[in-house]
Structure 1
Amino acid sequence: MIDNDITFRKLEIFLAFMDKRNISRTAELLGLSTVSVHRALHTLEEGVRCPLFIHQGRNLSPLPAAETLAEYAREVSDLMRRGIEETRKCGGIGQGRLKLGTMYSLTLDTVPRLIMGLKLRRPDLELELLMGSNQDLLVKLEDQQLDAILISVSDTQIDPARFETLPLFKDDIYLAAPASSPLYVTGPADLRDFKDEKFVSLTEGFATYHGFQEAFHVAGFEPHIVTRVNDIFSMINLVQAGVGYTLLPGRMKRIYEHSVRLMTLAAPYQMRQTIALVFARNREHDPDMLALVAEGRMYALEHRDIGTAPSDGGTLNAASTARPAS
């Protein structure tokens, strides 16, 4: 039975000492104190239950038994290192591939800009993109079918023990009307004035669905929903065609500003989505995930002082030293 005092960390310190033959140089190499090195060697010796060193003046010299242990310790350490590498490979960690899930609406600006920055950091990275609802993406992340997701976390329960959440920006929700709508107003829109109008909506599970339901609950009436769809672009097309009104996040404004008019909601109905990058805590040291998180942080810093997603098609800050040159 192997004694509890024999650990891989102590073997690492022991092998470093066997190479340097000096406690001070070993401590400097490993970023430890000399006391920590001496304690590790002493407790390792106790765990082996065999003398490994002898004091010669102020120096600690290895005995033949230490040379024998070092030979096997190197074999064990190398084997474990290869075992960890193969384990990570089997788990898809650090293999140059990322599966990223995103809401449809983020493919207009956020996702392309993150991908562009990510490819500058890791040119050989293969990225698989999957689009879906908030609910579907979170389920796939929990089932490890996705490595990271871009979703609205405003009305989503994220388990902090399992997942890291990196907020990117906040986005206001607007009332969307066909360009020819006679009910368009330049000031805040009161949903009660649209009680007799038709609406289109996303299905349950999408980020805007919960806010849609809550807004009309506050307004005190059930909207007349003529159809429900499974993606935001189909919903906007229906609004463009005059099928009905809907609620939309402000990030859609730039693309549809000539065919769909967005009205600011009156105070009782105002809502904001917090868009965030969510990924498993056990992936936080994966080099590919670190690169994605770094891009996410840059994006978040650029948008920290604005309430909605960018509408001018600007580029990420190319002068940042956080990203390597291409």
Structure 2
Amino acid sequence: MAPFARAFAIGIAALAIAATSAAPARCADDHVRVTLVGTGGPEINPTRFGYSTLVEAGGEKLLFDAGRGVVQRLYESRVNPREVTKIFLTHLHNDHIEGLPTLWITPWFLLARDQPLEIWGPPGTQKMVKGMREMFSDVEKRGGVNGFNKIEYMDIKAEEIGEGTVYDRNGVKVTAFKVSHGDGDPAVGYRIDYGGRVVVLSGDTVYSPNVVAAAKGADLLVHNVVGFSDAWVARPGAEKQRNAVASKLASPEQVARAFSEATPRLAVLSHIVKKDLSGRAGDDFIVQQIRKNGYNGPMLMGEDRTVIDIDAKDIKVHPPQPTDKLPDLDNRNVKLDEAP
């Protein structure tokens, strides 16, 4: 069984939700589309790139976090990175912003992005953006070289946010809420509302009542998880390391509690961190622990580039599309959504 089909078969337990291998069509105006651009944590992994989630609704493309390889994964998801200019950060840890410089530079220089970036994030975001611009200050010398990459499109509007509504345009509302990531640095999750549909992203957190409150009856709740294999837990010195990680990320037991209390139409796992000795453990033990701890609702173990279409009637999950026939993305005229 293919990896996606296996992950889907393990996790899904509702007839109203269907998986389809067909390429996802463009959504109607009343739909919300969620792409799990990257589903990994800080670990270097051949199949999971850094955490990033794209939400499309009302003609808006909103990117939540920009982990390692985000531009590559957007391209492989048939989303032109030049169209992604609105970015919401859950917190400023490196695995959530590593892809930001590339997303800022490459679509401008190579793909003729014709508008500046807008970034929303917790306190410290403006300082981070200033440091990024200083580190890559040489790119400003490239302005106008190709006749279209205007320097004003390198501008970045960075807004530091707290709790409450942080974005409200074209019927799409984004609300931030505090979560607990263990080290005292400010961290938020996000709720996205559009046309009666609700998507909630936990960001990095342990069990949080704020996540549950935001996601009560939501269409989609995307939650982080860290799983420890029995062999990893049994090794000498594991308890101290486990406690350190467990103060920042949700265990399967905590995820089961959050899912059970929130009862979303579909629960999704992303920012998936697996601790095992071999590095080759499957996803089964995380799903099994969640089930063992009482969550029996619809659930999907996320994979990079999975697309989820949401409307009032159903939720359709599309596995990652093949990438072998994608055209090189080196100019502004390529239509990625028309690729085979």
Q: TM-score, length-normalised on structure 2?
A: 0.26
Higher helix proportion, which one?
A: 1
Name the structure where strand makes up a greater proportion of residues.
Answer: 2
Greater Rg by CA: 1
Q: TM-score, normalising length from structure 1?
A: 0.27
